[in-house]
Structure 1
Amino acid sequence: MPRRWWQWMILLVLIWDWGRATVPRLLTPDSLLGSFDAFWWAGHCVVNGRDIYSPPPNTTERNVYPPFHALLMAPIAILPKKVAFFLWQVGQLVVLIFCFWWMEQIGAFGASQREGRIWLSLLLVMPFLEHNFIWAQYNHWLLLTLLGFLLLLNRQRFLESGCLLGFIFSVKPFHLPLILFWLILKREWRTLLAFLLSAVTFSFLLPACVWGWHGAWSLLARWHEKVAPNAFCVTTPCGGLPSTLFRLLTPVNVSLEPEKPLTVNFLTLPSPLVSGIMTILAVLLIILIVSECRQPLTMTNGLRTLYEMALVLTVSLLLSPRTEKHHCLLLLPATFLIADGWMRTEGNCKVLFVPLGIAGAIFVLRQLLPRSWREGLRLPYWWHSGVMLTYLFALLIVKPIGQPDPKEWRSDVGSNSDARDDSNDSGSDGANRSHPAEMDDKRAGDAPS
């Protein structure tokens, strides 16, 4: 629970955003429920033997996920739509709590700054969490399963972690390819093999049990050929670097109304040149991942793996042409580590002031500036990428330094989280392994803030 006034303010904003996105829709007949309309409809089509890619009634939302997604939605579709929506929205809050709990377990953080770390990270991701509430998306479930994958991997349960990753990939694969690249860098071949077997099982074999071999293959091919490509259109007004650069550097139409074309470009450059710029940026970001994640998993502790996963997810969101605001809930591990760095040491606080100040200014300006000013600055068309880039810089500032003795750390992986918290507070070896930079400060006589 919150202990300080600013933490209570964040909690009140969280409750307000959730209530505003949930309660009016429950009370209004035939109200639109965001993406949940398409989720529920896909499950409804499975239950009633209809085409899972048929358009839902009274909404422009569409099912853009693989066939296995519709099977998962079938139990939800048995419930009345409004009841299912309410449980879905409550589940967002419950899953958010578990995400924080698992991040604490993975990083073996101390208990002294826990409240500040949690509430500050929640504040940094609040605008994106709000959109997840509004659209009733399930990025919270995606994040929870990714953290579960990381927790299993750190406990050397390679087959289970690979199977869980294959499960996630079969539901929503759009932001996950770089995680496979990360596993290759870590040389986790057993996990990759388990992933492949799991992905084939969930993507094809289980749907084949429902629709038959031909039907399952036909649905999968239809999704791949007609549905999935629409999720990677660079001219769509989304927040990733590709669509942002094309909006700002080429005269592309960004209007959602065909009869009212709109261009917002600062410069007019040839599209091949913009593609070349984007390719260079993508290569630089991939090189960053390689340089930061090249250590094998046996030489990486829980805190470091959480940092690497946060880095991979942040870069994935930046490189995807269809990163929407609700997808950026996947930035929560990054904001969690940034908040931890802010709370622990005065040195990081001073350095972090610049990127966090920039992000805060962008958030404030997009709300308080007059509309004409916002449109003049093209703020609605680049703030999203701007915030992600500042979080990337802040994450690099607070990255864990130093690697533990792998034998010592592995012996502590499955230990009780409370025991780890106690050892961190007392300055024991567990704290040395989890926060080497912090312990170096203590030995030098600098108490953390």
Structure 2
Amino acid sequence: MVVLAAVGALLIVAWQIWVVPINHPVYGLFNMNIDTRVYRGGAIAVWDGHPLYNLPVYKVWQFTYTPFAAIILVPLAWMPEHTAQFVWNIGNVMCLLALVGVSLRSLRFRIDGRFIAFTVLFAITVIGLEPVHTTFWNGQINLVLALMVIGDQMRRSERLRGIGIGLAAGIKLTPIFFTAYLIITKQWRAAVTAVTVFIGTILIGLFVLRTEAWNFWTTTLTETGRIGPLDHPANQSLNGFFARLVPMGLGHTPSWLWIPTGLVVGLLGLWAAFAAHKAGQELLALTITGMTSCAVSPFSWGHHWVWVVPLLLIAVTYCVERTDRRRPLTWLWWAAPVAVIGLTFTWWHRVVTVTPSGHERLRFTFGVFRFIRAPEGPEWELPFRLIGSGAYILLLLLVIAVTLWVCDGWRAIRFNANSTPSTPVTEVQ
């Protein structure tokens, strides 16, 4: 595994040098930081007592997170802009390393030199995946939230489980979906803790920001247009997928279409997560739950799907353990990590746009969903438009199907299988 991670890391380093230059003034890995600037703008608004939601907090961008998130981001207001960006980037690097390390530990790998080497090399490798790359590029908070959730569920003390999920939901609402997972897996104490902590974050926001917090929970919360146009190619939720494909939508999806579909996908995702939990695959269960939460959310940017990090780790680990040179068919399992990489890689391509003054401008975009062509394009492009438009939804459905097959979803429902089998501690190969 270490050798495999080393090869992947070398390829991504080469990719970042010659294809997506890390030092590019605009598209370099750490050079955009637009979301960090918005976070800092929201923090300054709180610190200075200015409106948080009625006006843009940084140029034309509005603050879209909870009042509690704005409160805990206040330290960014005390730093110069470049210092805040530097601190945030370092924090994201540390969170990525911690996320890989915690995920490895959950797979029962022993901490040693190879463990550390693999963690670093694998972290470099997954920078080539669009959700991770864009999280760094935008200075996003997704890696922090994923680490909070996985770290919370992997802690040894059951008494404290649920705190991380509650805090993550208090910052960015999507993680509240994990309480459904806690309920179906009968982790009652953790579910109550998560909901209690989440309510606590709401009360803190109301106590500190009062009117701003009240307006957020009663009005601003439902204004998804503040985040971006629903039919944006990077909105990789079901809602965004249908908004791009349904002509009658005119930029939005009829509720009668996406809500029932979201309910079905949500239930399928929870079923697969339940099956993985009963099979003792807790990391897989959490990963599926995280991906499902992105799919059923009204708006999920591509960088919200950082759950592909533990997903790829699980896929690679499974392939290494199951591949047998004497059984050629076992090599087919490697189609799983190939699919994860293929659908989420930072595919880099150029787009020419025309400015209002009539001048052509060369822009660079990344992500398979950026390959979407206009509806009037040739018919042979239709399959590629469909895949690009719903690449991450497709990945989730594939993961659900494979999980229900491998973990025997029907058996998980019919029988109370042991959810914590004794898996021996192993070494990273």
Q: Which residue of 1 aligns with 2:283?
A: 306
- Distance in 2, Cα, partners of 1:352 & 1:191: 34
| 1:74 counterpart = 2:74 | yes
What residue number does 1:386 align with? 391
Please say if 1:63 is aligned against 2:60: no
Q: Distance in 2 between matches of 1:38 and 1:324?
A: 16
Matched to 1:142, the amino acid is L
Distance 1:335 1:157, change over 3 A: same
- For residue 293 of structure 1, what is the aligned residue in structure 2? 274
Contact 1:244–1:382 (CA under 8 A) maintained in structure 2: no
Aligned partner letter, 1:64:
T
**SS of equivalent to 1:35:** helix
> TM-score scaled to structure 2, two decimals?
0.73
Matched, 1:329 2:306: yes
CA contact (8 A) 1:117 1:343 kept: no
The residue identity in structure 2 corresponding to 1:342 is: C
Identity of aligned residues (%): 14
Greater percentage in helix? 1
1:137 partnered with 2:124: no
How many Å separate the matches in 1 of 2:86 and 2:346?
A: 33
Cα shift at 1:342: 2.2
For residue 203 of structure 1, report the CA deviation from its aligned partner.
Answer: 1.5
**Paired residues of 2:45 and 2:57 also in contact (CA < 8 A):** no
Amino acid at match of 1:289: L
User: Could you tell me how far apart the structure 2 residues matched to 1:26 and 1:320 are?
Assistant: 28
Paired residue for 2:163?
A: 163
TM-score (norm 1): 0.70
Tell me which residue corresponds to 1:182. 181
Q: Tell me the C-alpha RMSD between the 2 structures.
A: 4.4
Q: What is the Cα deviation at residue 63 of structure 1?
A: 0.5
Alignment match, 1:7: 8
Distance 1:363 1:147 in 2: 21
Query: What is the alpha-carbon distance in structure 2 between the residues aligned to residue 368 and residue 408 of structure 1?
Result: 46
- Aligned equivalents of 1:365 and 1:126: distance in 2? 5
Distance 1:224 1:246, change over 3 A: closer
Shift of 1:249: 3.6
Distance, in Å, in 2 between the alignment partners of 1:128 and 1:87 is 20
Question: Structure 2 vs 1, CA of residues 218 and 386 (structure 1 numbering), >3 Å: closer, same or farther?
Answer: closer
Deviations 1:296-333 (A, max 9, x none): x7x664xx111111111122222233121111113222
Superimposed CA distance per residue, residues 46-73 of structure 1 (whole angstroms, 9 cap, x where no aligned partner): 1111112253466332100110111111
Match of 1:199 in 2: 198
Paired residue type of 1:318: A
**CA 1:41 to 1:20, structure 2 compared with 1: closer, same or farther past 3 Å?**
farther
Uncovered stretches (5+) of structure 1, i.e. residues with no partner? 256-270, 413-419, 427-448
Measured against aligned partners, the alpha-carbon deviations of 1:250-277 in whole angstroms (never above 9, x if no partner) come to: 255569xxxxxxxxxxxxxxx76x9447
In structure 2, relative to structure 1, the CA distance for the partners of 1:400 and 1:96 (3 Å cut) is: farther
Correspondence for 1:150: 153
Q: Is the 8 A contact 2:272 2:288 kept in 1?
A: no
Aligned residues: 386
1:335/1:391 contact within 8 Å kept: no
Structure 1 range deviating more: 243-252 or 134-143: 243-252
Code of the residue aligned with 1:162 in structure 2: it is: G
Q: Is contact 2:292-2:396 (8 Å) kept?
A: no
Partner in structure 1 of residue 91 of structure 2: 91
The offset of 1:169, in angstroms, is 0.9
Residues 305 and 358 (structure 1 numbering): CA distance in 2 closer, same or farther, change over 3 Å? closer
In structure 1, the partner of 2:208 is 210
Shift of 1:184: 1.0
Letter in 2 for 1:184: I
